Amino acid sequence: VSDASGCSMIALLHTGAAKFPQNLLSRSRQAVSPLFPAGVFKGSSSIVSRKLASHGFGASMAAMSSFPPQRYHYFLVLDFEATCDKPQIHPQEIIEFPILKLNGRTMEIESTFHMYVQPVVHPQLTPFCTELTGIIQGMVDGQPSLQQVLERVDEWMAKEGLLDPSVKSIFVTCGDWDLKVMLPGQCQYLGLPVADYFKQWINLKKAYSFAMGSWPKNGLLDMNKGLNLQHIGRPHSGIDDCKNIANIMKTLAHRGFIFKQTSKPF
C-alpha cells in the first residue's frame, strides 16, 4: 500500500479513511508517522500537499534528492550581447541584458530579467553585429540607457529578495568577459558605479573544466557537446545563451558538481 516515500499510503488514508478498518488505520498511521511531521494526517489532502511543499517535496522532489546541496541559494545567470564589428569598435556597449534566477536547490529557473539597451556612442548597429547576435536596429532604438537598465536590475534584485543579506546568490557567466571587462569598462566610460553584486561570479568554463577535466575552447557549444545536450536557440542570443548556461549547470549539478566562485575579489 505504500511506496518508499509513504505518499501512496497517505493518499489512501485521506481518500479512504471512512471505509478503512480502524485497527488497520491506526497501524498504518504509526508505520508512516516517523516520515512526516506531527499533524500531517489532520485535515484534507490539500493540507498534506502544503506540508510536503513546505519541506521541499512535490514535483521536484526526485530532482532535488539526486544531487548534493549547493553553496548558494540562487545562481544569477547572465550573458551580455554588445555592439561589435570587424575590426572591433570602441567602446563596446551592452545592447542585451538578460538574467535568469536559478534556484540553487532545484536548479530550475524561477524568474527572468531581460531588457535591450540603447547604445549611445555608436547608436547604429553594424551588419556584423546584427548577423552575429540576431539583434536588429528596431530592438534597441528607443530602449532604456544602460544607467536606466542597471536601475531596473536593482529593482528586480530587490523584488526577488536577492538583496537580503541572508540570501546567498552569485552571478554565473560563460567566461570572465561580461563582468570583468564589459560591464566595468562601460560603466567607467559613462561614469556609472558598479554594484557590489556584480563583482563576484562563477565562470562556467572554469567550472566545466573542473568537473569534466577538459577546457571548452568553443564555449557553450563544446560544453553542450561534452554533456550530450541539445543547444537551445541560436548562439550569441543573450537570453538563449543564458538558457544554455542554466541547462549545463543543472546537468553538472545532477552529476554531483558543487559550484564555487571563480573570480578573484575586486
C-alpha cell at 164: 537580503
Helices (H) and strands (E) in the chain, counts: 11, 6
Examine the residue annotation and report whether 236 is marked as an active-site residue of this protein: yes
Spatial distance between the Cα atoms of 78 and 136, rounded to a whole number of angstroms: 21
Spatial distance between the Cα atoms of 195 and 146, rounded to a whole number of angstroms: 13
Catalytic position from the list 55, 81, 122, 131: 81
Spatial distance between the Cα atoms of 87 and 77, rounded to a whole number of angstroms: 29
Catalytic position from the list 90, 160, 236, 254: 236
Examine the residue annotation and report whether 110 is marked as an active-site residue of this protein: no
Q: Which active-site residues does the annotation give?
A: 81, 236
